[in-house]
A and B are shown apart, each in its own frame.
Chain A
């Protein structure tokens, strides 16, 4: 295995023997995001046990998700799928009365070819609750791609935009007023008119990707500073508030793993996709805003200064990370954006492992990564798609990176061998988008470095027995 770091962006593909979470884990954050939803995972004990263990204490908070646990009779088709699902969904309706039930198809439903997409519309009519089907299974997808399948399925349920345009003239005023009150401008009375004139110009813009509501409103207000109005989010806080879509609508992604959703929005809903780097890190956020502004023909205001200010605020953390090396084992598809940000912070990235790389959807981000490397005079990292964890650990043994960003399966063993690790899943649950949260990313990245600075002088960095350690 060659460990030389190449001068251009190289793409490799390994065996796909890597550790990641099953995509059904998207249920964990999506049920919290979409307040009136209920997620029903149609699968086996294995899926249930994963959710129960991966999501830890959340299970005890009476979550709005459950397993439809398949039994032997379901597998051998002795029981009627439709009747069984109907029974469970009626019970869910009775107990929770959600506005939408989302069926998550799993490996098992794929293998026994359960026709969830066919059954959903029928059952939907019968029980009068929308049923959305997403096939978030481990046969096809990794971890965060689960959200992608759910949002792609939901994109079909968004109302058509034409209706809105017809009505728009009548409701425009009140609508925009409402919108302002939600965003709460600083000096509302004075600016409303000015902003109003400006905002009228920009065509509807829908952002897609599930973010905590605070982060979503931070990004919205970031765009509003540039006089761009966000007309909706996919997903919205409630299923009943899904944004309207159509051929007049521009869409832009906030997360790197949403390629199916992007494709669906373009091909099926005829939206115009804005391909931009993702708003992760102050550099990414600025590039993201600039790209959106350029599409709407708007000159950005004060963005440069704002970015600089953020970087200034990060100074103490930057001193800590500068010159340190990172190795991404890859499991959640945020890797390219995070690596780009860390390189801009002055770190050296040896390898970016990533489960799946959509070069078209991530094109702007990849270009940005390349430019950042040039700007910082840092060799281009190698990008390894479908990595092989065993090989990666061998490479890490030679490279001895200062930090490995990895899944929990490898974190403790690596720490025991004296390699600092950061658990990658935390990046999916922490708030990492926009200018405001840049510090949170570095907080995560530097945590093992800061902790180990405190412990460094104790002299027990490697904690494995010699004969056992194959590392």
Chain B
């Protein structure tokens, strides 16, 4: 048992549901007790999704405990098949159902006989993998299922497209700025004269999965999700993949150079060889403002300032490199909660930071930040709150996130526009910190206490002890208003002694 207040990565089934509900026309059925379907709430709230989240539960209740699910799961699958006509139904086990040890595979086999949809059982172990690992696995499982199906049916066409093309793998729902990143990657590939073959899972159809091998290569922008799929495709179809995250100027260039290498190795007509160097140069120096920004006086002021970075492996590693390599900021500590990927992370940030912290315990991160006292933090929502408590500004660079990290405006983290966004984020975090510091030195914006703002300076009214207590129970931000309204009411009714009753009466009368 572990005493836990907060966690960075969610339980496994969340990862499976995120992948399943990112595909078009795929329905997930959770084998779960009542109340475990809060994934729908998250998606509906955070992504502000207009459509009903294609996730339902086959409820585990007392009867299921006593007698087993029996027909229930199969019935629910066939019912969903009739109602929604999905291409694929993913039966998703939860922590509860994995202890019950029912033979879910058997249900899946039975249901797939009667239903028109394909039915699979998500292959995740709740007590061994977290949300991100499960998402990675589920994506691979779905891709493999459809490629093997196509191979069996003989519909698999392995020839590659005439023009260079790429698959983007790992964009999915509730991912940190995934939608914006996807648009930026599409634009980048378009600039490089590379067609986008398929994007999975977001918005993809499972029927199109058999066309994945048509692309020349796979682009896996995030370390956490998509790598297993890319490796599977490389092994079975000889498709090369690029897993360098195009985040920051240096890594974006590196990613483009790898694309160049891969494309050129497959090109048949050697006269049409691609060379992206001039594009990289043009973008770096003039389209992206980040390179110039690093040279500007503004950025000079950031030299040697201490920062702490924490987040998922992809974003934390990229951010560390950007801060240290591209902006000259001293990264005192960098870390990730992706414990399963610790080796890769350490290798990436080697030489770019003073120390490395691998943990999924937010109190450890908090203690580290308190000890280092950096000028700015780049982390998740948790670090933002730690920063608030310690009065250190924080830029959010990674999930877990809140609704404000699903902005409506265009905010990619990847590609050349991403470098601009990151530069703003970094600069704004630090200047806020600086301004704050100056304010403290000079004693704040306004050192005079405002005393005549409210109506309640007259002395003809007295609040008795109980009503004062009652007033103090009211949340601060409305207390002033309540006080004013009550006093107004008291004056109107010629009452001088304000009691709790008067307060309530005032609320009723004035509808405060």
Binding site for B on A (CB under 8 A): 16-17, 19-23, 42, 44-46, 48-50, 52-54, 56, 59-60, 63, 66-72, 74-75, 79, 84-85, 87-88, 91-92, 107-108, 110-112, 137-143, 181-186, 213-214, 217-218, 221, 309-310, 313, 390, 393, 407-413, 416, 435-436, 439, 463-464, 468-470
Q: Is the CB of B62 within 8 A of A19?
A: no
- Residue in B4, B35, B44, B402 with the greatest tally of chain A CB atoms within 10 Å: B35
CA distance A369 to B126 in the complex (A): 46
Instruction: A66-B4, A182-B466 are known; give 17 further A-B pairs, CB within 8 A.
Output: A49-B14, A50-B36, A52-B6, A53-B38, A53-B42, A72-B127, A75-B127, A92-B3, A107-B96, A108-B95, A111-B96, A139-B62, A390-B83, A408-B45, A409-B44, A413-B49, A470-B52
Given contacts A23-B35, A213-B473, is CB(A45)–CB(B11) below 8 Å?
A: yes
Q: Is the CB of B99 within 8 A of A111?
A: yes
CA distance A152 to B500 in the complex (A): 31
Number of interface residues of B (CB under 8 A): 67
Interface string of B366-394 (1 = CB under 8 A from A): 00000000000000001001000000000
**Chain B residues near A71 (CB-CB < 8 A):** 1-2, 127
B290 CB → nearest A CB, Å: 32
Give me 24 A-to-B residue pairs in the complex whose CB atoms sit less than 8 angstroms apart, sorted by A's number: A20-B34, A45-B10, A46-B126, A49-B14, A50-B36, A52-B6, A60-B382, A69-B4, A71-B127, A75-B99, A87-B1, A108-B95, A108-B96, A111-B100, A138-B32, A140-B61, A143-B35, A182-B466, A184-B500, A214-B474, A412-B45, A413-B44, A435-B508, A468-B51
B285 CB → nearest A CB, Å: 42
Q: Which 7 A-B pairs have the closest CB atoms?
A: A22-B35, A138-B33, A409-B40, A184-B466, A416-B50, A84-B1, A138-B35
Given contacts A16-B61, A46-B13, A412-B44, is CB(A67)–CB(B4) below 8 Å?
A: yes
Given contacts A23-B35, A54-B38, A184-B464, is CB(A46)–CB(B94) below 8 Å?
A: yes
**Chain A residues near B453 (CB-CB < 8 A):** none
A464 CB → nearest B CB, Å: 6
Q: Which residue of A lies closest to B467 (CB)?
A: A184
Interface string of B233-249 (1 = CB under 8 A from A): 00000000000000000
* Residue B5 is within 8 A (CB to CB) of chain A in the complex: yes
CA distance A88 to B1 in the complex (A): 8
B119 CB → nearest A CB, Å: 18
Q: Is the CB of B41 within 8 A of A408?
A: yes
Binding site for A on B (CB under 8 A): 1-7, 10-11, 13-14, 32-38, 40-42, 44-45, 48-53, 56-57, 59-62, 65, 76, 83-84, 94-96, 99-100, 126-128, 130, 382, 385, 402, 464-467, 470, 473-474, 499-502, 504, 507-509, 511
CA distance A112 to B13 in the complex (A): 20
**Chain B residues near A416 (CB-CB < 8 A):** 50-51
Q: Is the CB of B33 within 8 A of A137?
A: yes
**Chain B residues near A439 (CB-CB < 8 A):** 508, 511
- Residue in B5, B76, B402 with the greatest tally of chain A CB atoms within 10 Å: B5
Given contacts A17-B59, A108-B95, A139-B61, is CB(A59)–CB(B38) below 8 Å?
A: no
CA distance A58 to B269 in the complex (A): 62
Q: Is the CB of A72 within 8 A of B508?
A: no
Which single member of A68, A142, A221, A408 contacts B1 (CB below 8 Å)? A68
Q: Which residue of A lies closest to B63 (CB)?
A: A139
CA distance A309 to B99 in the complex (A): 57
B83 CB → nearest A CB, Å: 6
CA distance A469 to B385 in the complex (A): 39
Q: Is the CB of B500 within 8 A of A183?
A: yes
B173 CB → nearest A CB, Å: 14
**Chain B residues near A110 (CB-CB < 8 A):** 65
**Chain A residues near B100 (CB-CB < 8 A):** 111
Q: Is the CB of B3 within 8 A of A66?
A: yes
CA distance A75 to B34 in the complex (A): 21
CA distance A439 to B7 in the complex (A): 39
Q: Which residue of A lies closest to B52 (CB)?
A: A413
Q: Is the CB of A310 within 8 A of B508?
A: yes
CA distance A92 to B284 in the complex (A): 54
B400 CB → nearest A CB, Å: 8
Q: Is the CB of B3 within 8 A of A91?
A: yes
CA distance A56 to B34 in the complex (A): 20
**Chain B residues near A468 (CB-CB < 8 A):** 51
Q: Is the CB of B38 within 8 A of A50?
A: yes
**Chain B residues near A16 (CB-CB < 8 A):** 34, 59, 61
Which single member of B34, B50, B128 contacts A138 (CB below 8 Å)? B34
**Chain B residues near A54 (CB-CB < 8 A):** 38, 41
Q: Is the CB of B33 within 8 A of A464?
A: no
A66 CB → nearest B CB, Å: 5
Q: Is the CB of A463 within 8 A of B470?
A: no
Q: Is the CB of B51 within 8 A of A413?
A: yes
Q: Which residue of B lies closest to A18 (CB)?
A: B34
**Chain A residues near B2 (CB-CB < 8 A):** 67-69, 71
Q: Which residue of B lies closest to A43 (CB)?
A: B95
Which single member of A59, A66, A139 contacts B33 (CB below 8 Å)? A139
CA distance A110 to B467 in the complex (A): 46
Q: Is the CB of B36 within 8 A of A22?
A: yes
A418 CB → nearest B CB, Å: 11
CA distance A221 to B466 in the complex (A): 13
